[in-house]
Chain A
Amino acid sequence: MSDLQSQDYVRRSASTMTPPSARSHEDQVAKLIDVSRCIGCKACQSACMEWNNLRPEIGHFEGSYENPADLGPSVWTLMKFAEYENEQGNLEWLIRKDGCMHCEDPGCLKACPAPGAIVQYANGIVDFISDKCIGCGYCVKGCPFDIPRINKKDHKSYKCTLCSDRVSVGLEPACVKACPTGAIMFGSKTDMKDWAGERIEDLKSRGFDKAGLYDPQEVGGTHVMYVLHHADKPSLYSGLPDKPQISPVVMAWKGVIKPLALIGIALAALSGFFHWVTAGPNEVTDEDEAQGERVLREAESEKSS
């Protein structure tokens, strides 16, 4: 990622300081996926592979149109297909484009022990900075949506960047550009919520009483949102979490360790040690101390709240 983009960081994994956001005029962006107009054509998957130059292996047929079979270090977005029989006994084929949700409160970033390996930009995009990644897999555990995947070759974690490289120069993400039915839209989060409102109204007029927007507040809202026909049951859509929760592993930093802060520091030091083993001796110790301090501070602030 370019240096220019680093000026837009608002959060940085395993760091004490909120980065000074040099450019503050950035709008919060969002991708809106209107499941009700998605035909599951996988143009988004092709575009993602083309733009990011990803080529997973040619797999096998595994009992569904889902191919490849799972997200992977080279599969950053994946159409998921769920056959659902509704209360009236009619079939619905619920097709959902899966990928990083770009949480406002990103579990991956919280869990990440490698300083600056996961960042959040002012526009809300959560990005992995590969050269800082230590491949520990904590982000996988930290993610409430089971999105990041570790590449076994380079031991780095990968996921959708929301085409941060395109967005930073004023382009829409590749999947948005490729979508033939306009089911994937991109713009400011406010505009996307407004548009979602119109779509939900239309769906309600067509008998989907529970149509709604998926922008889960459990993670502070997301920068990838869905219009769902059945917003009361997100899990119908190939296991989209009804109430996404940041994993206990991450919550441990905040909760369990609260009375055991010293152990927290020890863990932080241990993590630093591992980083030293894998990445060599650099500012790791400082950073780890900072991480420990952050844990303590957060523990304190939680106690007082």
Chain B
Amino acid sequence: MTNTWQDIKNANVVLVMGGNAAEAHPCGFKWVIEAKIENGAKLVVVDPRFTRTASVADYYAPIRPGTDIAFLSGVIRYLLEKDAIQHEYVRAYTNAGLIVKDGFTFQEGLFSGYNEETHSYDRSSWDYELDKDGFAKSDDTWQDPRCVINLLKQHVSRYTPEMVSRICGTPQDKFLHICDLFASTAAPDKALTSLFALGWTQHSVGAQNIRTMAMIQLLLGNIGVAGGGMNALRGHSNIQGLTDIGLLSNQMPGYLNLPTDKETSFDEYMKTKLFKPLRQGQTSYWQNYRKFVVSLQKALYGDAATQDNNWAYDWLPKLDVPLYDIIKAFEMMNNGQMNGYICQGFNPQQAFPDRGKIRRGLSKLKFLVTMDPLDTETSRFWQNFGPQNPADSAQIQTEVFQLPTTCFAEENGSLVNSARWLQWHWKAADAPGDAMSDIWIMSGIFHRLREMYRKEGGAFPDPILNVTWKYTDPISPDPEELAKEMNGRALADLTDATTGAVATKAGTLLDGFAQLRDDGTTASGCWIFSGSFTEKGNQMARRDATDPREQGIAPNWAWAWPANRRILYNRASADPDGKPWNPAKPIISWNGSRWVGIDVPDYGPTVKPSDGVGPFIMNAEGMGRLFARDLMVDGPFPEHYEPLESPVENVLHPKVRSNPAARVFADDRAAFGSPKDFPYVATTYRLTEHFHYWTKHALINAILQPEEFVEIGEVLAKEKGIDQGGWVKVSSKRGVVVCKAYVTKRIKPLTVDGKATHVIGVPLHWGFTGQARKGYGANTLTPSVGDANTQTPEFKAFLVNVEKTSAPTT
């Protein structure tokens, strides 16, 4: 979230699209209700189904799964055509007036630089024209046809209300009514908040879905302000912490990039990281990148990371592909290229697409280690559970080590919530049975591996042998000690640059990342967490709910990254002169000598408004990007591409149907179905009664939603003779689910390109372990393809067939 849960109450319009907040985030949803009751907010829901969120909405419109970019591009077109944008904001704070290189084009569904063979783009033309000093050229009058805003106008001109309706199946009147509601927040003192989740990410165009909405928010002046923002509601306790700490194959802690094998030296690596400002006098915060990396290396390798060995750069793994995501991991397992798998707190047999492929992959492993508090399907993949898991145990040689772990309530630690708050939690109970903490298990594996490297050498022992491990209890490091390591400390006396006096003594915990150095005198395991555990104590454990303006900002409740800042980009909450756009809900303002207010400024605290430094200081041009430059692999503007499995052609450009930059493995492509055999659009999702695949192990949750079902509209049910609550067989090219049918008015056929299109809803909670009734699992059906940028699987739009059937024989 750019903003916070509490801040939702400041919104005038709440848009829930690409998520189902009431269903998946019922506790946080109270702030939407608060916005309605206390702020008179209108709640707008756009979703293929009439959801629990829709049940309390002021306005609902249906949409075909996988067409959000078309819808939102239509909104952009509408806002530009009606001139319903916040002009001063767009002019001062976005790249609307910057001029794009001549070489950049968009034709027939493809941006310039496409390579058909590699299914990827040469992105060098996706950038600004630079002047002789290397600064981006601009035209503040927006007259130049190569200005971003003019290229954007041209790009979205195809998304007329007729076209939106034709692609999305959303009735035009409903679409236009929602455009009007969006437009109402272009006023400087009005805000729309966008609440989204996996309904936007889990598409082959997931990242671009979110970008399109972010562009709308920039045009409306809704980023950085109270009640605005782009608010990703994280779907999994501590998934925010997972990304923060870099648990992705191409990342390191604090969103630092893991080096690639082309970056053979530290200097080479740093070359592409220290974004030089693209406007004169602009702050470009990533210029501190080197400090963050060196401090990370000092945290990892201690004294062994020195200036002389380039801070142990050579010991970092180097990527030979963009990323080793899970889809790729299972492809490699299936190809015999990955033989062992440590599966910590993850249940891919349930959670990942094309369950058959997952099971086949696991079956080819030499060993599988599962670490989980629950008896997961993954740890039992080899066992025959009847039609819900038809494994042939005798044929599977994988050795499975099932290590029971403690759960969050059985250990101390911190969780990062959607609003980026690190909240400390305390152990409430002892773990049952033989369960041990993940820290103890990982430590044990580390010590044994290190011992093997010590004794036996091995190809490259240095990265393991040199890891620093100076914990009080090396067998099971204390979570507080680990948290302090994340925060970072001074390794030598740090002197003040101007006075030369010792400002921070050696050994002291740091107050924040501003103190980090690139000379090896500081260590910090995750620079964005710096400030969370200082000499003043564990800031994450703070529980002071005082909210000075009752505006949803309680600065002494836990601790938010970065720098305890609650609303990102909050400089943009004030006009160029430093006066709040919305005087009733100010965040920070300029008092003549510094920035003051209820939040930590996302800006130099004494940088004068007249200096003209842009508010988006993590971007080299300091501006919000309506044109993404080369930062997305599939285009600097979002474009509607059909899901990899779609019932229709791409009416905008028939030759380029789906995301041209999507990575699709050959065997996965062969497992895509055609609309002839699988005529219905399916989408998967979760229900309030359950959390993923965990709570089916809990009796009360199992009582509340006991058995697998799919949701089918009344019209289709009638056509197929399907009874309410009767058995159906839902099939995709990849597998079959036999379950109950919920025949509902909440899913209506959509008219897409003149044809009736039916949507089938597939809730995902059931499997073959736990207390609820056995189920086949939604991911038996889903396709193995991900978003072109992140490889997040396309769980939200694929093709199935559905037929009436009888109960499965078990």
Contacts and interface: CB of A to CB of B under 8 A. Distances in A.
Contacts of B50: 91, 93
Contact of B704 (A42, A83, A85, A94): A42
A60 B707 contact: yes
- A contact residues, range: 35 or more
A63 B725 contact: yes
A63 B743 contact: yes
Contacts of B688: 39-42
Contacts of B30: 180-182
Contacts of B733: none
Contacts of B744: 83
Contacts of B476: none
A45 interface: yes
B700 A50 contact: yes
A83 B743 CA distance: 11
Interface stretch (B53-61, B137-145, B495-503, B571-579): B53-61
A39 B22 CA distance: 6
B702 A58 contact: yes
Interface in A29-46: 36-43, 45-46
A64 B22 CA distance: 18
Contacts of B60: 90-91
A58 B699 contact: yes
A163 interface: no
Interface in A175-210: 180-183, 199, 202, 205-206
Interface string B693-710: 000000111111111110
Interface in A61-98: 61-65, 67-68, 83, 85, 90-95
A39 B771 contact: no
B54 A93 contact: yes
B746 interface: yes
Interface centre among A57, A60, A91, A92 (most CB of B within 10 A): A91
B707 to A, nearest CB: 4
Interface centre among A59, A62, A93 (most CB of B within 10 A): A93
Contact of A39 (B29, B689, B741, B742): B29
A180 B29 contact: yes
A281 interface: no
Nearest to B43: A206
Contact of B746 (A40, A63, A93): A93
B745 A83 contact: yes
Interface centre among B36, B744, B746 (most CB of A within 10 A): B744
Contacts of A90: 60
A72 B740 CA distance: 23
Contacts of A83: 744-746
B332 interface: no
B452 interface: no
A64 B773 CA distance: 16
A81 to B, nearest CB: 9
B703 A55 contact: yes
Contact of B52 (A39, A50, A58, A63): A39
Contacts of B689: 41-42, 67
A56 interface: yes
- B contact residues, range: 35 or more
Nearest to B705: A67
A181 B33 CA distance: 7
B26 interface: yes
Given A42-B689, A63-B742, A180-B26, A49 B55 contact: no
A91 B50 CA distance: 8
A58 B771 contact: yes
A39 B26 contact: yes
A202 B37 contact: yes
Given A40-B52, A67-B705, A181-B30, A61 B771 contact: no
Contact of A91 (B701, B705, B746): B746
Interface in B103-149: none
B714 to A, nearest CB: 9
A229 B742 CA distance: 26
A67 B704 contact: yes
Interface centre among B60, B700, B739, B746 (most CB of A within 10 A): B700
Given A58-B772, A83-B746, A46 B700 contact: yes
A60 B773 contact: yes
A60 B55 contact: no
B264 interface: no
Interface in B674-728: 687-689, 699-709, 724-725
B321 interface: no
Interface in B26-70: 26-27, 29-30, 33, 36-37, 40, 50, 52-56, 58, 60
Nearest to B726: A63
A146 B742 CA distance: 26
Given A58-B771, A93-B54, A181-B29, A68 B703 contact: yes
Interface centre among A39, A41, A93 (most CB of B within 10 A): A39
Nearest to A55: B699
B742 A64 contact: yes
Nearest to A75: B703
Contacts of A91: 50, 60, 745-746
A60 B703 CA distance: 9
Contacts of A202: 36-37
B745 A61 contact: no
B778 to A, nearest CB: 14
Contacts of A56: 703
A92 B89 CA distance: 38
Interface centre among B29, B50, B56, B772 (most CB of A within 10 A): B56
B175 to A, nearest CB: 15
Nearest to A57: B703
Contacts of A183: 33
A60 B746 contact: no
B740 A41 contact: no
A90 B58 CA distance: 11
A198 B744 CA distance: 33
Contacts of A92: 55
A55 B687 CA distance: 21
Contacts of B742: 61, 63-65
Given A39-B53, A180-B27, A181-B26, A55 B700 contact: yes
A50 B55 CA distance: 27
Contacts of B687: 65
A21 B26 CA distance: 42
6 contacts: A37-B56, A40-B52, A59-B707, A67-B689, A67-B704, A180-B26
Given A49-B703, A55-B700, A58-B773, 9 more contacts: A37-B33, A39-B23, A41-B23, A50-B700, A83-B744, A181-B26, A181-B29, A181-B33, A202-B36
10 cross-chain pairs, A with B, having the tightest CB-CB distances, nearest first? A63-B725, A93-B55, A39-B22, A61-B707, A63-B724, A41-B26, A61-B740, A83-B745, A41-B688, A61-B709
